[in-house]
Amino acid sequence: MITQEQFISRLKAKTLPSLPLTVVALGEAVQDERCTVDRILGILSKDPSLSATLLRLANSALYATEGAVMDLRTAVLRLGFDAVANLGTGAAVIRTLKGGAHLDALKLWQHSVAVGLTAKGVCVLARRHGQAETAFLTGLLHDIGKIALDTCFPEAYEEVLQAVAGGSYFVDAERALLGMDHAEAGALLAAEWSFPQAIVDVIRDHHDPKPEDFLPNLIHLADLLVRTRIPMGPADERMLISLDGLPAFKAVMAGALHKDLDVERLTFSIDDEVDHAMAFVEMAFQA
């Protein structure tokens, strides 16, 4: 069984990369109310690869609603400071954790980005517009613990993947075979990377959210919805969910439910987010 101390020690022994300084600087900049476009551009000028990725994203189906963007200044203005920081973080995390020893990294990141995009959309439906960008980032990061465990304990995690291939859910197999699941591991990695405590808490709690905690319930809900589109194993392929019967759905939509809410339209819109996720991950892998 893996303890927190063993996991952190192995993280350092495996020298899992730190996030690029560019991403850290972007995160700090957008927290400053006096932040300017020139400051953002100055940070991005030190990372041409990330700049190119953001320019491609600004011209992608996700954001290209007003014609082509030809320069980075226009891209930053179109995306917005928070989105630039979160998209930059997402692209950097994908570049940093392209895969472990055994996981299908492409499928994992497609799933994770789709969860982030779905969480952002549901956040807006729930009338929590101010948390939409945080929802995207936490959704994107929610499964980083899988890659960390696969990287740090490859032989043990191979047994987990065999159990998943045999029909177990990831979290159940991890708890039974490792004594630590990817939510706990991901929270420890996020803390090592100095992410805000609120994001660390969401990663830790997304499989067992408390009824009163909005963001963990949101990520839990988005994760379930996306797993019906991008199954992470045979158990997901058999999974059937009913939104009205999900505690997470009730927790997320509390106070926002009304007669005009089109649940069927919500579920179909997730297919679009999956398509967008495929494109996002392709761009990030090319960086």
pLDDT tens digit string along 218-274? 999 999 999 988 889 999 999 888 887 889 988 888 766 555 556 666 666 777 777
Tell whether 126 and 62 lie within a shared domain.
Answer: no
Tell whether 76 and 119 lie within a shared domain.
Answer: no
Tell whether 135 and 84 lie within a shared domain.
Answer: no
E-assigned strand segments in the chain: none
| Percentage with pLDDT > 90 across the chain | 42
At which of 31, 62, 96 does a domain end?
96
Domain-embedded: residue 6 = no
Average pLDDT of the chain to the nearest whole number: 86
Kindly report, residue by residue over 170-229, the tens digit of the pLDDT.
999 999 999 999 999 999 999 988 888 999 999 999 999 999 999 999 999 999 999 988
The Cα diameter of the chain in Å comes to 55
Tell whether 81 and 216 lie within a shared domain.
Answer: no
CA–CA separation, 65 and 63 (whole Å): 6
Number of other residues whose CB lies within 10 A of the CB of residue 159? 14
* Full residue range of the structural domain in which residue 28 is found: 17-96
Best-predicted range by mean pLDDT (68-72, 115-119, 125-129, 260-264): 115-119
At which of 62, 96, 130 does a domain end?
96
Contacts of 235 (CB under 8 A, 6+ apart): 164, 167, 168, 169
Structure-block tokens of residue 269: 């819109």
The domain total for the chain is: 2
Tell whether 49 and 155 lie within a shared domain.
Answer: no
Tell whether 83 and 104 lie within a shared domain.
Answer: no
DSSP-assigned states of every residue in 93-161 = HHHHTS--SSS-HHHHHHHHHHHHHHHHHHHHHTT-GGGHHHHHHHHHHTTHHHHHHHHHSHHHHHHHH
User: How far is C-alpha 238 from the chain's CA centre?
Assistant: 23
Residue 235, domain CATH: 1.10.3210.10
At which of 41, 65, 96 does a domain end?
96
pLDDT-derived band of residue 115, with 50, 70 and 90 as boundaries? Answer: very high
Task: Select from 138, 134, 112 the least CA-distant residue to 124.
Answer: 134
What's the distance, Cα to Cα, between the start and end of the chain in Å? 37
Tell whether 88 and 64 lie within a shared domain.
Answer: yes
